[in-house]
Structure 1
Amino acid sequence: MSEQSRLRWRCRRGTTELDRLLTRFLEADSGGYGALDSDGRGCFERLLSCEDDQLIDWLLNGQPPAEDSLVDLVQRIRAASGLSA
């Protein structure tokens, strides 16, 4: 299984909204997952390990994560989906 396929599978969540946000970021031509450096890709993996209720607060409700390393990534994901930062 390729890295992209594995990540696409991990982007599948309990809600359609989260599925779409995460998958859109993963597949974005510019500004998405492909634009991340190795640290950013590690943050994305860490983000995918978070519970759905946290992701909803951060990605859909606009609340910043407590972990500073995830703040920029959350903003990038929201921006890739056209949500305000």
Structure 2
Amino acid sequence: MFTAKRYARLKWACRRGMLELDVLLLPFVEEAFNDLSEQDKETFERLLTCDDPDLFAWIMGHQTCQDPELARMVDTIVSRVKV
């Protein structure tokens, strides 16, 4: 379960070293995170432990994430941005 404290840490983790990631991840967590299943919330939290260059490459479509759960979460984030 995501407590307010855990959610606040998650929002802080969305503040990355790359502006391109900041403008995607922080709005996603603020606007869509609460609608995710508990499993997807944990997957998103795990996604945030990945390195910025990997996240950027996955989100921009330059590389494919080899972890199926993380790849699905990247697709969720990207599809939300394209709407």
Q: TM range, normalised to the smaller chain?
A: 0.7 to 0.9
Q: Residues 1-85 of structure 1 correspond to what in structure 2 (within 5 A)?
A: 2-28=5-31, 32-61=32-61, 63-82=63-82
Q: Deviations over 1:45-65 (max 9, x none)?
A: 110000001001111235321
| Higher relative helix content | 2
RMSD (CA atoms): 1.7
Q: Which amino acid aligns with 1:76?
A: T
Unmatched segments (≥5 aa) in structure 1 = none
Deviation at 1:3, TM superposition (A): 2.8
Tell me the TM-score normalized by structure 2: 0.84
Q: Deviations over 1:18-71 (max 9, x none)?
A: 01111111012xxx2112111111111110000001001111235321001112
Q: Which amino acid aligns with 1:6?
A: R
Tell me the TM-score normalized by structure 1: 0.82
Q: Percent identity?
A: 35
Report the number of matched residues: 80
Moved over 3 A (4+): none
Deviation at 1:4, TM superposition (A): 2.7
